[in-house]
Structures are given as C-alpha cells and as structure tokens.
C-alpha cells in the first residue's frame, strides 16, 4: 500500500493546520495548529485528538504562528512526548508564542471564573504553562536546506518561505513519495526577509498549499495608512493597531519609521504594548545583527535600529501598559493579538472604541468569528470580558501589509516547480477561497487540484 496523507485541520478555514503523513513504518504530523475564530472551530481544540498522540513518531512545524504550532501543548497534555522538528528561529519564536498562549488560556479561564460569566463551574484553560514548557523542551532545531530523517523512511528538508522569521516550506519524502507543504508563503516583498526559495527540482506526489488569499489579489501600495493616521491626529485621537506579535509588529514599525522619515506623518510617539511582540522583536534584531541568511542583506550594517523612528516606547511592564491609557497627545499603539482575540489589545479596544476621535487600523487577516472581523464588518458593539462596548472609533482596513502571497503570487511560485504534482490540495483558506484557488490552479496550470475533506485519508501516488 502507498503512503497516505490525512487532513486533520485547516480544511475550509484558515486556522488549525494539522496533517498526518503515514508510511509502512512511520507516522509524522506536519504542523500542529490551534483553531481560532468561530466558536464551533475553537471548540474543536477541546475535542480529544482523533489520533493517538503516542502513535505519532515525530511532529514537524513549518513556522511559529499559533495556527501552525499552538496545539502542541494540548497534544503533550494527551501524551505526546516525541521530537518536534523546526528551524532554529521557529524554535525560538514558537517558544514565545506557546508561553504566551498558555498564559492567555489560563488568564481567560481565571477571569471567566472570577466574573462568573463562564457557563462552566470551574473553567480551566486548554493547556497550562507546564504543558507549554514540556512542548518547548521537545523542540529539535534543524537548519534550512539540510535533509533530515525525522522518522524511519521519512526525510524532511526545510526551505525558506519568506513569511516570518524562521518560516519554512516543508519538503518531505515518505517511502519515495514526495510531499511539499507550503506552510504560509510570503509575497517576495518582505521588508526584512529574503524572498521564498524556489521549489526544488524533482517529481512531486502531492503539493499541500495554503489558500488564505486564494480568491484575491493584493492591492498595490497606497497612502491609506498615512491618511488614516493624519485624519486621527487632526481629531486629537489615538491610533490603535492590533498586530500579530511575530512579524507584523516589525513590519509596522519599519513602515511607520519610513513614513516619519519621509514626513508623510508627523513624529508621534509609538508604543509597542505586547511582551510577546517585544521578545520577538529582539529575535529579529538578533537575526539582523548576526547577518542571518534569512535577512535582506541591505539591513546589515545599518547605523540605526530599523524598527525605531526615535519615538518608540516599549511597554514591558503592566504599569507601563496601563499608563498608555493616560497619554495626552496623539499616539500610535501597536498591540497583540492581531485579530483581537486576546492579549493586551483587548484592554485597549475596551478603552478606545467608545471615543469617535480614535481609530483602529486593521492591518492583517481577520478570520471569521474574531473581534477584528466583527469590527471590519461594521459592528456597532463588540463583546469583551462578558460585556458590550460601543464602537464609535473609526475602523480602517489597510490591506497592503499581508505577508501571505495572493493567488497570482502563489501561481507564479508554483511555476518554479519543474514537474507537475500528481495532486494539489488547497488548505488554510475559507471554503470559498480554497475552492476558487483549486479552480484557478486547474485553469492556469492544468494541474489536478482539489479541496480535501476533513479527516479524510488520501493515497500518495
Ligand atoms: Zn503564518
């Protein structure tokens, strides 16, 4: 019998990436992501995992975003204790992400208990700090471009995907059948990272591709960010930017620095209020200072910090975070999480949304069911911490900062393959996006492409 692939998540949705490749002698899991967004998806995180965790020989993680690694401590809770392979910077960043996630899970549970708005008598988090630490202790960093046998007859090579620091696409061979998992692929215009590697030569049995923006192309750069900031300053309001702690914060800081230097916006104070974002920022600085091959060479030997326009305030303590509520001149606050599902940004939203002078700039993907998506769709009130908050602030969507390739960029990248994959599976996109992307692949490349079914097993030919 041929080896198989099973799709356990990210089917018809952008979160919960989980795939299993099984050969005669080994079972390997690729990505172990958390479901986020809609309640019916989040509830899936709480279900018992459909595979016995101890039957899995190894887990491979493409990058440090929560929807690709955030389920690891839950599997550890259920008994997984094998190796977790990833690139060196993914190991560092995923450690930050998992610790923060465990903290949020525990805090939310405690808060719900204290305020009595949980339906459960004694709410607990999905996992705790101890389980996150156990998962982190299983990380096994493997450098880029070096084939490594992760389990018997299963070899994995990481290639750069230019999406966030440490991000990879995973080139896996199981008993002679090759599967390429895109993870998330960058756009080739990242301000910090070098472009995604091309697809290495050779026959491909299956290509498992993200389709986050599979039904869209990104707009060209425009002035909407500077315009929104200047409008808010005129009203003497503050600007809140919910941003994914890893990578988006770095991109926003570099962009704001550029806007200030070119005098498109005034030199206003910028606060980064997310301990996780600040730790991640230090890894980006470290990668630049150590001249990592993941970094664009033009950032080496700069005379100043590329992330600080001179007005950067790093709010490391809770006191510094609370003090931001009292700032008396127009300022920009960057805080996580990016879809406002948790973290300090929720407190800032609670404080800032009722004031029509303020603005909230949404600069990243907002999954269905998240507060970010409700704001985007024009909600007049938003629920947080068990109560409703009025939305009077200006809500602006800024699309140019996506770090996901759009449909045309992905198709262009696919053309770097020197052979036709036997099958392409479109995952990690809302249903409509995944379906239209599969059609586009078929029409443009004449490749066999489909949207896999959840929990279904496919043979690798
Ligand atoms: Zn990602």
Q: Same structural domain for residues 66 and 209?
A: yes
- The rounded Å distance from CA 86 to ligand 1 centre is 14
- The rounded Å distance from CA 274 to ligand 1 centre is 18
Q: Same structural domain for residues 139 and 234?
A: no
CATH code at 374?
3.40.50.10890
Say what the pLDDT of residue 220 is.
73
Strand order across the beta sheet in which 27-32 lies? 139-141, 84-86, 58-60, 27-32, 18-22, 4-7, 457-459
- The rounded Å distance from CA 448 to ligand 1 centre is 25
CATH code at 418?
3.60.15.10
Q: Same structural domain for residues 367 and 353?
A: yes
Say what the pLDDT of residue 328 is.
86
pLDDT digits (tens, 9 = 90+) for 447-457: 999 999 999 99
Say what the pLDDT of residue 120 is.
63
- The rounded Å distance from CA 147 to ligand 1 centre is 23
Cα angle, residue 95 at apex, residues 89 and 98 outer, rounded to 5°: 135
Q: Please state the domain count of the chain.
A: 2
- The rounded Å distance from CA 413 to ligand 1 centre is 17
Q: What is the pTM of this model?
A: 0.91
- The rounded Å distance from CA 208 to ligand 1 centre is 15
Q: Same structural domain for residues 14 and 89?
A: yes
- The rounded Å distance from CA 263 to ligand 1 centre is 32
Q: Same structural domain for residues 268 and 391?
A: yes
Mean pLDDT score across all residues of the chain = 93
- The rounded Å distance from CA 329 to ligand 1 centre is 34
- The rounded Å distance from CA 65 to ligand 1 centre is 5
**Among residues of the chain, what percentage have pLDDT more than 90?**
79
Q: Same structural domain for residues 171 and 293?
A: no
What's the domain range around 283? 224-397
Residues of the chain with pLDDT under 50: none
| 86 CA to centre of own chain | 15
3-state DSSP of the chain: CCCEEEECCCCCCCCCCEEEEECCCCEEEEEECCCCCCHHHHHHHHCCCCCCHHHCCEEECCCCCHHHHCCHHHHHHCCCCCCEEECHHHHHHHHHHHHHHHHHHHHHHHHHHHHCCCCCCCCCCCCCHHHHHHHHHCEEECCCCCCEEEECCEEEEEEECCCCCCCEEEEEEECCEEEEECCCCCCCCCCCECCCCCCCCCCCCEEEEECCECCCCCCCCCCHHHHHHHHHHHCCCCEEEECCCCCHHHHHHHHHHHHHHCCCCCCCCEEEECHHHHHHHHHHHHHHHCCCCCECHHHCCCCCCCCCCCCEEECCCHHHHHHHHHCCCCCEEEECCCCCCCCHHHHHHHHHCCCCCCEEEECCCCCCCCHHHHHHCCCCEEEECCEEEECCCEEEECCCCCCCCEHHHHHHHHCCCCCCCCEEEEECCCHHHHHHHHHHHHHHHCCCEECCCCCCEEECC
Q: Same structural domain for residues 292 and 377?
A: yes
pLDDT digits (tens, 9 = 90+) for 188-221: 889 999 999 999 999 999 999 999 988 888 877 7
- The rounded Å distance from CA 250 to ligand 1 centre is 14
pLDDT digits (tens, 9 = 90+) for 109-120: 777 667 666 666
- The rounded Å distance from CA 439 to ligand 1 centre is 23
Q: Same structural domain for residues 102 and 119?
A: yes
Domain boundary among 358, 374, 397: 397
- The rounded Å distance from CA 295 to ligand 1 centre is 17
- The rounded Å distance from CA 194 to ligand 1 centre is 16
């Amino acid at each position: 019998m041929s080896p198989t692939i099973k799709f356990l998540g990210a089917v018809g949705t952008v979160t919960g990436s989980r795939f299993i490749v099984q050969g005669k002698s080994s079972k390997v899991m690729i990505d172990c992501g958390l479901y986020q967004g809609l309640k019916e998806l989040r509830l899936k995180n709480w279900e018992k995992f459909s595979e016995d965790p101890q039957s899995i020989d190894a887990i491979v993680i493409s990058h440090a975003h929560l929807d690709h690694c955030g389920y690891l401590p839950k599997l550890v809770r259920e008994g997984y204790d094998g190796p977790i392979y990833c690139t060196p910077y993914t190991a560092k960043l995923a450690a930050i992400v998992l610790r923060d996630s465990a903290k949020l899970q525990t805090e939310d549970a405690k808060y719900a208990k204290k305020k009595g708005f949980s339906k459960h008598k004694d709410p607990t988090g999905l996992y705790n700090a101890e389980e996150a630490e156990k998962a982190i202790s299983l990380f096994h960093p493997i450098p880029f471009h070096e084939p490594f046998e992760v389990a018997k007859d299963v070899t994995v090579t990481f290639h750069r995907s230019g999406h966030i620091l440490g991000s990879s696409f995973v080139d896996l061979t199981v008993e002679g059948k090759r599967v390429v998992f895109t993870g998330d692929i960058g756009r080739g215009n990242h301000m910090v990272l070098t472009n995604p590697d091309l697809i290495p030569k050779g026959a491909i049995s299956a290509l498992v591709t993200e389709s986050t923006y599979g039904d869209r192309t990104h707009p060209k750069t425009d002035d909407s960010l500077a315009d929104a900031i200047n409008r808010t300053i005129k009203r003497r309001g503050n600007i809140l930017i919910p941003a994914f702690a890893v990578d988006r914060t770095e991109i926003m800081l570099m962009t704001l620095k550029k806007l200030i230097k070119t005098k498109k916006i005034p030199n206003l104070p910028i606060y980064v209020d997310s301990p996780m974002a600040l730790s991640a920022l230090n890894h980006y600085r470290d990668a630049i200072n150590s001249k990592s091959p993941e970094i664009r060479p033009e950032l080496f030997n700069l005379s100043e910090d590329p992330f600080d326009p001179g007005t950067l305030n790093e709010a490391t303590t809770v006191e510094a975070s609370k003090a931001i509520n009292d700032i008396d001149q127009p300022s920009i606050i960057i805080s996580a999480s990016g879809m406002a599902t948790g973290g300090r940004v929720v407190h800032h939203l609670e404080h800032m949304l009722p004031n029509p002078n303020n603005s909230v700039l949404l600069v990243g993907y907002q999954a269905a069911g998240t507060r970010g998506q409700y704001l985007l769709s024009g909600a007049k009130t938003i629920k947080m911490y068990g109560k409703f908050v009025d939305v009077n602030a200006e809500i602006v969507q800024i699309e140019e900062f996506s770090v996901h390739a759009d449909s045309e960029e992905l198709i262009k990248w696919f053309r770097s393959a020197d052979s036709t994959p036997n099958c392409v599976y479109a995952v990690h996109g809302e249903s409509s996006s995944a379906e239209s992307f599969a059609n586009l692949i078929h029409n443009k490349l004449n490749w066999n492409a489909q949207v896999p079914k959840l929990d279904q097993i496919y043979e690798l030919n």
